[in-house]
Amino acid sequence: MNLIDLTLEGFVKEVASLSPAPGGGSVAAYAGSQGFALIAMVCRLTIGREKYAAVEGQMRALLDTAEEKGERLLSLVDEDTQGFKAVMDALSLPKTTDEEKAGRREAMENATFKAAEIPLQTARLCLEGLREVPKLLTDANPNALSDMGVAALMFKAGLDGALYNVRINAVSLKSEENKRDLLVVSSSLAEEGNSLAAAIAQKVNEGLR
């Protein structure tokens, strides 16, 4: 079953089910995809209007980017759940003999590292989305100001949620080098995301007064 083929109601019910996957990582990726969907909408509400002719090329390029990255995040909804299931599969491997134990440890390490890398992709894409919002606030149709604000909120939720999933997998790794690298990158992405989100929220709130 592909999660992205479900209805909205179906996806919500799948998340709410007893199964631990799909979980927060898939929800974070979906949030990010909604952020890019809103960017695409704002671009379309700007393109073709004489008042914004000077930025039409920029908006068309951003529309293409939003559609491409939104699709990638949708694919990560499924990939995140698959990554979790791979960890569970490794966990269920036999561990009777020393050879089996070693094989299981290696499989667990590889699966856990992959399970951290998948939401890291989500986090990077959500941060890329946040970086685009200030351009919209400056140049796009201001009638869609609230939609730009919600796009930023979706990206921030997706970024934070994805980084939670990076960290929970990173701390389970035996490789101190991989653990450290993932945590350092996570911290850097979070810092930039916090700064961008705060600046965007301030500008949106000022525009809504």
| Residue-level pLDDT at 106 | 96
Burial 80-105 (b: 16+ CB within 10 A, else e): bbbbbebbeebeeeeeeeeeeeeebe
Per-residue confidence band for 4, with pLDDT thresholds at 50, 70 and 90: confident
Q: Does residue 1 register a pLDDT over 80?
A: no
| Residue-level pLDDT at 54 | 96
- Rounded to 5 degrees, what angle do the CA atoms 82, 177, 159 make? 50
Higher pLDDT, 209 or 156: 156
How much is the average pLDDT of 62-84?
97
Per-residue confidence band for 60, with pLDDT thresholds at 50, 70 and 90: very high
CATH tag, 24-207: 1.20.120.680
Q: Does residue 21 register a pLDDT over 90?
A: no
pLDDT tens digits along 157-196: 999 999 999 999 999 999 999 999 999 999 999 999 999 9
In the chain, what percentage of residues exceed pLDDT 90?
96
62, 55 contact by CB (below 8 A) = no
| Residue-level pLDDT at 174 | 95
Kindly report the average pLDDT of the chain as a whole number. 96
The structure tokens 């966990």 sit at 91
pLDDT tens digits along 112-162: 999 999 999 999 999 999 999 999 999 999 999 999 999 999 999 999 999
Domain boundaries, the chain: 24-207
Q: Does residue 49 register a pLDDT over 80?
A: yes
How much is the average pLDDT of 34-54?
97
How much is the average pLDDT of 55-84?
97
**What is the helix (H) or strand (E) element at residue 29, kind and residue range?**
helix 24-46
